[in-house]
Amino acid sequence: MHSWLLAAVGGVLIGGSAALLMLTQGRIAGISGILGGMLPPMAVDRDWRAAFLFGLLGAGIVAAVVAPQAVGASVRGTPMLVVAGLLVGIGTRLGSGCTSGHGVCGLARMSPRSLVSVVTFMATGALTAIIAGGF
């Protein structure tokens, strides 16, 4: 299957799941907010949050088993991944949401805050890639 077709199918699945969550739960599919509701003090609506996170992890596990070459190995060691994860968490708190919440859901709702956030994410990512020698 062509990579552009796989990307399009993935995009439709992501957009469809975000729309389905909004329609059924009235909630935005921002992973940081969903995960944050599972941490103390826990939100009262834990069931759908747990199901969403389980599905997210389950899909990754299925992908790794069915098509391990599509997932690949990390190019960095565990300590760097831990530091990167912490920095992403800090950025998520500072930006009032994560890339999925702002990029997929916020832009779809035409949120000015999300537009600023996405432009910032993209510019910072491009600058980081340039500095790290990715180009």
| Nearest-angstrom CA–CA distance, 115 and 8 | 22
The kind and range of the H/E element at 122 are: helix 112-131
Confidence class for position 64, pLDDT limits 50, 70, 90? confident
Confidence class for position 73, pLDDT limits 50, 70, 90? confident
Q: Is the pLDDT of residue 54 over 90?
A: yes
Given this model, what pLDDT does residue 63 score? 87
Given this model, what pLDDT does residue 3 score? 84
Write out pLDDT tens, residues 78-105.
899 899 888 888 888 888 888 878 988 8
Give the pTM: 0.75
Q: Is the pLDDT of residue 33 over 70?
A: yes
Given this model, what pLDDT does residue 125 score? 87
Q: How is the chain split among helix, strand and coil, in percent rounded to 5?
A: 75, 0, 25
Overall number of domains in the chain: 1
Given this model, what pLDDT does residue 16 score? 92
For residue 70, the enclosing domain spans 3-131
Q: What does the chain come to in residues?
A: 135
